[in-house]
Amino acid sequence: MDCVKIESGTSLLRVFHAAPQAPAVDVYINEKLVFSNLQFTQFSSYVKLKEGEYRIDIFQTGTMLQPIISGSLDLDEGQMLTIAAIGNLDDLSLLVINDNADKKASPKVSSFRVVHLSPNTPAVDILVNNKILVENLAFKQNTSYVDIAPGSYNIEAVLSSNKESVLVFGVMLKANRIYTIYIVGESPNLRAIQSVDGNTYLCRY
């Protein structure tokens, strides 16, 4: 695909529905419908926004009586962000995740990080091919991007407290790609969602 440019005075933003108990949602930015019928585990596309202050309201799809989540965002220029709707119905919120516009894709390596978005799962250790990548990754936290040789990998999340395995999955990581792996859902039914982040495709000239 063609490279994506962040124009002067603007940033790029997408929304990720990561709240396991929440219904499909419509997303309003400054009272304008921007994304509709976003289902659990789905991402919106990235949209361009000018720098400034924004109000984000998330409604159950097809309704506008009462938002299930509301939040504000002070957006600087040159950013690339994922806004995740997270939590359970009694404690929903928005989490801003920086997709790091300065991170560059490389033809020699693949890059990835892991984000913990399961509201009822305690802190976990992340293992890659049985080697520890990070310990004590708590809800709402993410690892830094890690560069790794392209290929297939086995990833496991184990509870930091007692090393009980709570999620095992395989990934294919390609060169020239920057990924985020989101751990979502509720224990014991956790899922891993692998996303190619937009910084993979940013123009670099």
Q: What is the mean pLDDT of each run of 10 residues along the chain (205 residues)?
A: 87 98 98 98 97 98 95 96 96 97 96 98 98 98 97 98 98 98 97 97 82
Backbone CA torsion sign across 37, 31, 13, 138: negative
Give the length of the chain: 205
The backbone torsions φ and ψ at residue 201, rounded to the nearest 5 degrees and listed phi first, read -110, 10
Give the pLDDT score at 42.
Answer: 98
Residues 6+ apart with CB under 8 A from 90: none
Q: For the chain, which domains are there?
A: 10-98 (2.60.40.1120), 110-201 (2.60.40.10)
- Residue carrying structure tokens 């994506």: 4
Q: How far is CA 29 from the centre of its chain?
A: 19
Q: Please report, as a single letter, which amino acid is at residue 197.
A: D
